[in-house]
Amino acid sequence: MGILIDGLRANGCEVTEINHPLELSTAQRVDILRKPWKLFGFAWDLLGLWRALRRDARAWMRRHGRPDAVLVGYMGHFDVLLARRLFRGIPIILDHMIFAGDTAKDRGAHGLRVRLLNRLDRMAIGSATLTVLDTQEHQLMCRPGDQTMVIPVGAPAEWYAAGSAEAARVAAGETARTNDIVFYGLYTPLQGAPVIAKAARELARRGLTPHFTLIGKGQDYAKVRTITHGLDNVEFREWVEPEDLPALVSSHAISLGIFSTTSKGLHVVPNKVYQSMAAGCAVITSDTAPQRRVLGDGVVYVKPGDPKALADAIEGLLGDPEALKVAQVKALEASRRFSSDIITKPLYQWILHSMR
């Protein structure tokens, strides 16, 4: 959402934010999608936030008049219903990067829960004038009559800044570029973290022990800890402050994307891939249709769900410093196509067209 706002501003839009956040982390919100009965637990808080949003939106319109468009943020399945009522006759843009039903299914839900969440997705998309999605695969999950637009997730400016700062330190001789490897995420099934753990184990069997930094905690965390038990080269960091993450990632030679074979894993290009490319890391990720289509030769691809293939790719880069450098340069070059001003230009043009 922040990237869309930054990009629209860079393209000349005046964007006013009206925000009363639900104090839940992304992991907690996704857990609610997997366990929809938890909706009742925060329904009262949600209604209170809606009252505040309605009050502020009406006050803004009294001062400024009707907006040209309204952008409803990521995971706005409920907020878009409110926006539809508050801003009648005004184009509503929904940032729909997550399908509730698809995400819940990926986390192990099934049956009635998934059907209810699929209906929630339909209600949200049906309430929007334009639905923004991150891949063509997600676009195909919409209905033919839905007005949609594909916008890559991209990377915020701080990731590019972190990559530039790291490159400057290396060029000045203040630090040396390591051969370290980093992964960060919520350990969800689509990320395939156990594949990374098995690849680390396979590399150790070959006598190769590069340092792995695995950041985060989630569903597959315990399994990964079990697989890597006894590997002294694997470091776990359950939490890193968001403002510190770009610099930490940029200090690594290789960043790892996603490696699962789940349906959702085959539909996405994860934000960590865009961010890691902007940070100047070589990136290894699964060879899926959306990633290959969007990223081109900016990353190194391996077969989804194949620890040996991942181990081979890591060994190939670490065993050939020139290949590693080329992979880092290609990643950074490719990342320039995904800055906020570039990826939001079609959305800016859509807004201009809707004003005519």
* Minimum mean pLDDT range among 77-81, 179-183, 302-306: 77-81
Separation CA 53–CA 19 (nearest Å):
7
Each residue's pLDDT tens digit, 278-287 = 999 999 999 9
Question: Sorting pLDDT into bands at 50, 70 and 90, what band is 176?
Answer: confident
**pLDDT score, position 26:** 59
Question: Sorting pLDDT into bands at 50, 70 and 90, what band is 47?
Answer: confident
212 forms beta bridges with 181, 234
Of 271, 286, 353, 285, the residue nearest 3 (C-alpha): 271
Cα R_g (the chain), whole angstroms: 21
- In this prediction, residues 34-40 reach a mean pLDDT of 59
CB-based contacts of 119: which residues, under 8 Å, 6+ apart? Answer: none
Each residue's pLDDT tens digit, 118-158 = 899 999 999 999 999 999 999 999 999 999 999 999 999 99
**pLDDT score, position 172:** 93
**pLDDT score, position 356:** 75
Each residue's pLDDT tens digit, 206-264 = 999 999 999 999 999 999 999 999 999 999 999 999 999 999 999 999 999 999 999 88
**pLDDT score, position 105:** 80
- In this prediction, residues 13-20 reach a mean pLDDT of 94
Each residue's pLDDT tens digit, 317-331 = 999 999 999 999 999
Cα separation values, 215 from 4, 35, 115, 153, 241, Å? 26, 25, 33, 21, 11
**pLDDT score, position 27:** 61
Q: What architecture does CATH give domain 157-338?
A: 3-Layer(aba) Sandwich (3.40)
Amino acid at 325: K
Q: What architecture does CATH give domain 2-152+340-354?
A: 3-Layer(aba) Sandwich (3.40)
Single pTM value for the model = 0.89
Each residue's pLDDT tens digit, 294-307 = 999 999 999 999 99
